Structure 1
Amino acid sequence: MKSPLFAGLLVLFALRLLAGALLPLSADEAYYWLWARHLAAGYFDHPPAIAYLIAAGTSLFGQSEFGVRIGGILLSALTTALVWDTARVLTGDQKIANFAALAFNLSLMTTVEMLVATPDTPQMATAAAFFWTLAKLAETGNGRWWLAVGIAAGLGLLSKYSTLFLGAGALVWLIASPPMRRWLASPWPYAGGVLAFLIFTPNLLWNAQHGWATFAFQFGRIGAHQLSAKYIFEFIGAEALLATPFLLALGLLALTTTNRRDKGSALMASLFWPSVAYFFLHALHDRVQGNWPCYLIPILSVAAAKAFFQQNWTGWRAPVAKWSARLALPVAAVLVFIGYAQALLGVIPFGRKDPLARLLAVGLPDVVQKLDAVKSQNGASAIITSDYATTAWLSFYSPLPIIHVGEDYRWLQSQPARIIGPVLYVAEDRRDLHDRAVSCFGKAEQLPTIDRLRKGVAIAHYVVYRLDGGAGQPCGRMP
């Protein structure tokens, strides 16, 4: 790796560290932090990898934003190294490897998903490892690499179930690439599959003991809804932004000009297109969240790097490749800079519609301070919540006991709470479900609303109720 490239990657890594320490948590991050307080082999929404990653970070750095995120940030460095070496192995060109590493770190998807602590973070790392192990298999022809493939696959499944699409892609590669078909008659791929299954087994057992909760939640999204084209355009727009437009264009150029006898080209296309086909199918009837394809960014980065240095483009591809190559890195760098500036400083005055301020707990410490004063004035012993976002944020930022009602399935590891004396019910106004909590009490009195502010502008309004009359009966859970 040349020193200017290394310096650039170091700057981007330092920015990730800085943002990880300074930015307040998103609601999802705080939610996964709650998981880390009750480690298990599974949870309602996802497999457990992110909980263990957060637990490792907070064991070293305490209950802090940095502690929650440091595990994923360190994984971003490992993932960068895997992307770099995969490009080197598949192309034999260090310049392509250098570009792939830089492209990976300049995509908005990596900037976001390798900073915030969500299941996407370990999934991106394990997807890069899966890609790298298959590249090493193609390079060496040594069947033992299938065991490494199995380990990466198993860890990927403990991160997110969409890793299954990478497994499907590997099978496509074995069938569609003539040089790789010999492995179908070898025991090594099947040994790798068994190893992946064994690693994934704890989550299977957890689900079997909990009514297959995670499987029902995740695979329930596949159900058909009314056909609509609007989600297709939304999906394309989101991915163009998150992958960054010209890096995406370069990657797609390489991935749509595949030589089946070129192991590297066939491998990238085989891993990439099954996932994309599913996401387009899903987008025909429902929204595809922008982060879902994040695990494809390592593949896309290597493909974009290969296209960047390819000179023999013809027809309409030639001008697309020319302008995409010129604009890819500068535009990506500008988008990353704007993203950090908006998240850290709020340079664009969106007001209440500021997407990053609403996503992150901007202004929440002031809300907690005001709630503490209201709690003292009303003699409240705890705070009742009824949505997971408010529950997670207040659990992380407030010293007050938090009790959640209405979604017990999210807190299978915690015990029912018994409430005595008056309590406060708190929720964002658009999620006001205080009726869920009133059943445990005799009366409810609405108190003044508390605003969450950024630069003096309200970005969220929190309703507050004083609930009284509880007799110590079980009501909700303490996450």
Structure 2
Amino acid sequence: MTLLARGERGDPAVLLAVVGAVTALRVAALMAAQTDLFFDEAQYWSWAQDPAFGYYSKPPLIAWLIAATTAVFGDAEWAVRLSAPLLHGVTALVLGRLGGRLYGARAGFWSTIGYLLVPAVSFSSLLITTDVPLLLAWALALLALHRWLDGGGWGPAVALGVAVGVGLNAKYAMALFPALTVLFLGATPGLRQRLASPQLLAALGIALLLILPNLAWNAAHGFVTFSHTRDNASWSGPTLQIGSLLDFLGAQFGVLGPVMFAGLLAAAAGLWRSDRRAADRFLLAFSLPVLGVFMIQALLSRANANWGATAYPAAVVLVTALLLDPRRRALFRLSNWLHAAVALVLVVAPALARDLRLPGLGNPMERVTGWSAAMTDLGALAAGRGATTLIFVRRADIAEALYYLRGSGLGFAVLPPQDGAGPKDHYELTRAFSPARVGPGLLVLPGEAAVPPADLAALGLRLAGEPLRLAVPRGVARSRVLTVLPVAW
């Protein structure tokens, strides 16, 4: 019997070997990458240096994961990102288990492979983002909920509560899961009585208990994370943003893959068929409404392509099962080969990041290049001028400086909010400049010929020299530019 046949029959050794091989390849790609940390990643690393139950824009789990991996492997970029491929590998195994329960061993095997090769997962395995632990928590919650509905009793109910609670500590988007659970149970005649189950109420209580420390942190800080989440929605009026909606939907063909997303739309079109399998309805209930929520968000304002990420776990299992129909064999193979090709490109590309150039596109990875060199030059400039503090006006710049100038002995601050406004990011909340800091310093502005804030004197600052320009390559044809102003106070 071939390895593939053994895998399709549910041999766990084959499944673990495949997931282990893909994960190891992605870890090796992280180690070989020439990419710098993106500024969100650098920010999460800085949070990890200050363990807490909450941060300005996100719950704490992302920082805890980075703290764990860097405590073991050090602070290199690959170590900061290490939990991404590892957790995606676990998520794939969980979805394989769910697919096996719903559709049989063959569907379980290919659900695991399908998730590993989804373009968004291949890309996400090279970065550390809040979606990574969120998707694992969502997958675990799906599996636990199905086991509970299948008569699993208290064990699956407790697992469901833990999964939802952990997911809430990854990203508040996890709050959709209990809402969708209520809708699914209420809309399914044979399950409505389960809404009043003490086990389900206990699961909800466990989830609330696990997110309680974060709620307490938010209460102590003016609920800044909730304010940020609300502001991110950016609902500004009754005007409908048709272009934004089309952009979001179009992006899903790239995020989930063209065949897989088309398969999800086809499944949605037949949602109310009387012969629809119960397993299909279960998975559609935890994928389509997620996309619906963010389609509305896109229509009213905007929605990033990844905001619908929690639709993917259920969608992958569902569409994989549909594509395994012998009549769709060609589509099944096309999807897998296309996704495998994308995954292979994304494994190789980071090692070429500094020299990569595509016709008409330039360097698609320039957002994660040039930061290390720019901050190294900035640190050397500060040392040469005897500056003790670097003052920034932009979150991206201070986040990168905190990471790449760690151990330099420099102080780091941002200009405080103006006109009585509240903090707009974590650094304005925790590192706002005060003249009580030791001087002199350098005020770092993004771009060339940047204009300093007009009210420097009101902040207790004065210019102490001519502007300086730092420019380092970020790819083949562009540079990352900073304007640096010597200041004193």
**TM-score, structure 1 normalization:** 0.88
Equivalent residue letter for 2:136: A
Match of 2:57 in 1: 45
Match of 1:19 in 2: 29
Match of 2:469 in 1: 449
Out of 308, 317, 320, the position equivalent to 2:323 is 308
How far apart in 1 are the matches of 2:316 and 2:450?
A: 43
3-state DSSP of counterpart to 1:158: helix
Match of 1:315 in 2: none
Aligned length: 458
Identity of aligned residues (%): 25
CA drift at 1:131: 1.0
CA drift at 1:429: 0.9
Match of 2:265 in 1: 252
Match of 2:3 in 1: none
Provide closer, same or farther for how the CA distance between residues 14 and 198 of structure 1 changes in structure 2, counting only shifts above 3 A. Answer: same
Provide closer, same or farther for how the CA distance between residues 130 and 459 of structure 1 changes in structure 2, counting only shifts above 3 A. Answer: farther
Alignment of 1:147-296 (within 5 A): 147-222=158-233, 223-225=235-237, 226-258=239-271, 262-296=277-311
Out of 386, 410, 435, the position equivalent to 2:426 is 410
3-state DSSP of counterpart to 2:170: coil
Tell me how large the CA RMSD over aligned residues is.
Answer: 2.6
Gaps of 5+ in 1: 313-320, 471-479
CA drift at 1:231: 0.4
3-state DSSP of counterpart to 2:58: coil
Q: Is the 8 A contact 2:374 2:480 kept in 1?
A: no
Q: Is the 8 A contact 2:264 2:319 kept in 1?
A: yes
Provide closer, same or farther for how the CA distance between residues 120 and 444 of structure 1 changes in structure 2, counting only shifts above 3 A. Answer: farther
Cα deviation digits, residues 414-464 of structure 1 (max 9, x gap): 686533433222232189563276633221544342223145532422222
Cα deviation digits, residues 139-163 of structure 1 (max 9, x gap): 3443542221111111111111111
Equivalent residue letter for 2:26: R
3-state DSSP of counterpart to 2:304: coil
3-state DSSP of counterpart to 1:284: helix
Equivalent residue letter for 2:377: K
Gaps of 5+ in 2: 1-5, 8-12, 418-422
How far apart in 2 are the matches of 1:365 and 1:428?
A: 15
**TM-score, structure 2 normalization:** 0.86
Q: Does 1:104 align with 2:115?
A: yes
Provide closer, same or farther for how the CA distance between residues 242 and 352 of structure 1 changes in structure 2, counting only shifts above 3 A. Answer: closer
Q: Is the 8 A contact 1:427 1:462 kept in 2?
A: yes
Q: Is the 8 A contact 2:117 2:339 kept in 1?
A: yes
CA drift at 1:322: 5.8
How far apart in 1 are the matches of 2:437 and 2:153?
A: 62
Match of 1:428 in 2: 446
How far apart in 2 are the matches of 1:303 and 1:340?
A: 27
Provide closer, same or farther for how the CA distance between residues 250 and 175 of structure 1 changes in structure 2, counting only shifts above 3 A. Answer: same
How far apart in 1 are the matches of 2:446 and 2:259?
A: 39
Match of 2:41 in 1: 29
Q: Is the 8 A contact 1:367 1:450 kept in 2?
A: yes
422-431 or 203-212: bigger deviation: 422-431
How far apart in 1 are the matches of 2:26 and 2:450?
A: 35
Q: Is the 8 A contact 1:429 1:462 kept in 2?
A: yes
Match of 1:58 in 2: 70
CA drift at 1:129: 0.8
Match of 1:473 in 2: none
Q: Is the 8 A contact 1:177 1:263 kept in 2?
A: no
3-state DSSP of counterpart to 1:419: coil
Provide closer, same or farther for how the CA distance between residues 461 and 323 of structure 1 changes in structure 2, counting only shifts above 3 A. Answer: farther
How far apart in 2 are the matches of 1:48 and 1:431?
A: 37
